[in-house]
Structure 1
Amino acid sequence: MADRDNKVMVGALMLLAGGIIGAGVALLYAPQSGQKTRKDISRYAKKARRKGEEALEAVEDFTEQVTDMAEAMGDRAAEILDRGKDMAYGAKKNLLKALEDGEARLTKERTRLAKMIG
């Protein structure tokens, strides 16, 4: 168990030492001063922020358009449903009228046949 802990500790120390050495080498070979690097980072951060805000505005606009479209579709669907109900009511009314007319004809024909037969 102690051997395993030692290996973990040695690995962590080697990783830390490698990071420190790498940072030192990077500073020695850096092509520009720290002040210029900070300015570049600041400019990049401002540019990224501006692009992020533009993207957020685009998402908000898109969301608003989708919401408006969904509301319009809901209104249109309600109109179509109402129209369908009216049409179904009219068709039902016409069908009942046709059935009543057919029933009246049948009654009339039955009466006429009954008189003929006797």
Structure 2
Amino acid sequence: MAENENKVMAGALLILAGGILGAGIALLYAPQSGQKTRKDIGRYAKKARRKGEEALEAVEDFTDQVGEMAEAVGERASEILDQGKDMAYSAKKGLLKALEEGEARLMKERSRLAKLIG
């Protein structure tokens, strides 16, 4: 299977190379002068380089923003986790206090009932 993939890749590269070679030959035989063609190619190369640099800067900016966002989300998640731990601890304390109060009331009612019954 890998051999088939290599053949396909080789074929694609040959087609690409043929296209580039054909474009180069077409430029050489174009009706304008070679000097003008070279200038046009130079301008096109500079424009392509400039666009490539702009795209690279955009990708770097995007990568930085995603990294900053991931860091902020991580920090916020840590804060939320800490708050959750604090809330759980507070809830546990409140529950224990309510149980103790309930136990005290139960004992009080038991003793009151015991006095009434005899």
Name the TM-score, length of structure 1 as normaliser: 0.72
Rounded Cα–Cα distance in structure 2 between residues aligned with 1:54 and 1:117 = 92
Superposed CA offset, 1:49-84 (max 9, x none): 111011101110111011011101110111111011
The alignment of Structure 1 onto Structure 2 pairs a total of residues equal to: 94
Instruction: Give the match's secondary structure for 2:100.
Output: helix
Instruction: Give the match's secondary structure for 1:94.
Output: helix
Correspondence for 1:67: 67
Superposed CA offset, 1:5-37 (max 9, x none): xxxxxxxxxxxxxxx9xx69x83xx32012211
Correspondence for 2:3: none
Identify the structure with bigger relative contact order (alpha carbons < 8 Å, sequence gap 6+): 2
Which residue identity does 1:32 align to in structure 2?
Q
The Cα shift of 1:91 comes to 1.0
Name the TM-score, length of structure 2 as normaliser: 0.72
Which residue identity does 2:33 align to in structure 1?
S
Rounded Cα–Cα distance in structure 2 between residues aligned with 1:116 and 1:84 = 47
Which stretches of structure 1, 4 residues or more, deviate above 2 A after TM superposition?
A: none
Q: Which structure's CA Rg is the greater one?
A: 1
Query: Which runs of 5 or more structure 2 residues have no equivalent in the other structure?
Result: 1-21
**Paired-residue identity, %:** 80
Which residue identity does 1:55 align to in structure 2?
A
Q: CA RMSD for the aligned pairs?
A: 1.9
Correspondence for 1:36: 36
Rounded Cα–Cα distance in structure 2 between residues aligned with 1:63 and 1:88 = 37
1:88 aligns with 2:76: no
Alignment of 1:1-118 (within 5 A): 27=29, 30-118=30-118
Rounded Cα–Cα distance in structure 2 between residues aligned with 1:108 and 1:31 = 110
